[in-house]
Amino acid sequence: MAKTAGSSFAQLLIDIVSHQFPVFFYYGTGHPLTGIWSAGTRLNVEGAASSERLTEIFIQQAERNGVGLVQAHWLVSEFLEIFGDPLDFITWLRAPVQRICSMYFFWKDSKFEPRRREVRELFWAVKSDRCSLLEFGTHPQIRDYYRAMLAPRDLEAIRFAGIFERQEVSLRCLSRLLGMTLPERLQLKNVTKRKQTPTYSLSKEVEEGILAHNASDAAIYAAALARLDQLDSET
């Protein structure tokens, strides 16, 4: 999920998880993280810049190890199309209004267009101050993002959903799932320069306006939070 500490989680996967089994990152051609990692090192795969070729090599690596993990800015439907089923999905969720704020200000500071072509016009509107935070958070291409990303699955079909605001509990539960010891917190990397406090502060009018157009994501987040608490209580 975009703007849910994905870069920080990626570093954790490299430093710890890749020593147990192969990890495949795909953020587009030329991205510094894109590639297949094993034992904390990127595999030297010359001439394998395309997602198709990298996927083929990763599947071979995963079959040899009996398991593998992929992190990419793909929809669940794209994962299913590329790898087939069955797949176990792990994701991170963030309070919807905070995630939207983070994405909005990240775009303002970003030098690179989004991978998704359909949102590039909106991206430039944000950068040129032609789109307010409220307009952004209620835009059809932004609102209810979690529901769109999880389709055709739903939260109940996701093996594990960590909560950005509950990192210690999330990582403790994920440690049990993966059978390895993970740190208690993520070391945040892509921190938005404009954010000086733990959460973004915005007016009641803007917050309520964004929430009104993201009711589905708010419900998914609340359900994931309750499920995480239940999972933690079972230990």
Residue 126 has pLDDT above 90, yes or no: yes
* Count of domains for the chain: 1
Residue 39, in any domain of the structure: yes
Residue 159, in any domain of the structure: yes
Q: What is the pLDDT of residues 159-216, one digit of tens each?
A: 999 999 999 999 999 999 999 999 988 876 555 555 555 689 999 999 999 999 999 9
Expressed as residue numbers, the domain containing 47 is 6-233
Residue 142 has pLDDT above 60, yes or no: yes
Residue 144 has pLDDT above 80, yes or no: yes
Closest CA to 100 of 216, 220, 4, 193: 4
Residue 171, in any domain of the structure: yes
Q: Say if residue 24 is exposed, middle or buried (CB neighbours under 10 Å; 0-12, 13-18, 19+).
A: buried
Residue 186, in any domain of the structure: yes
Residue 1, in any domain of the structure: no
For the packed helices 204-212 and 96-109, what is the interaxial angle rounded to 10 degrees? 110
Residue 178, in any domain of the structure: yes
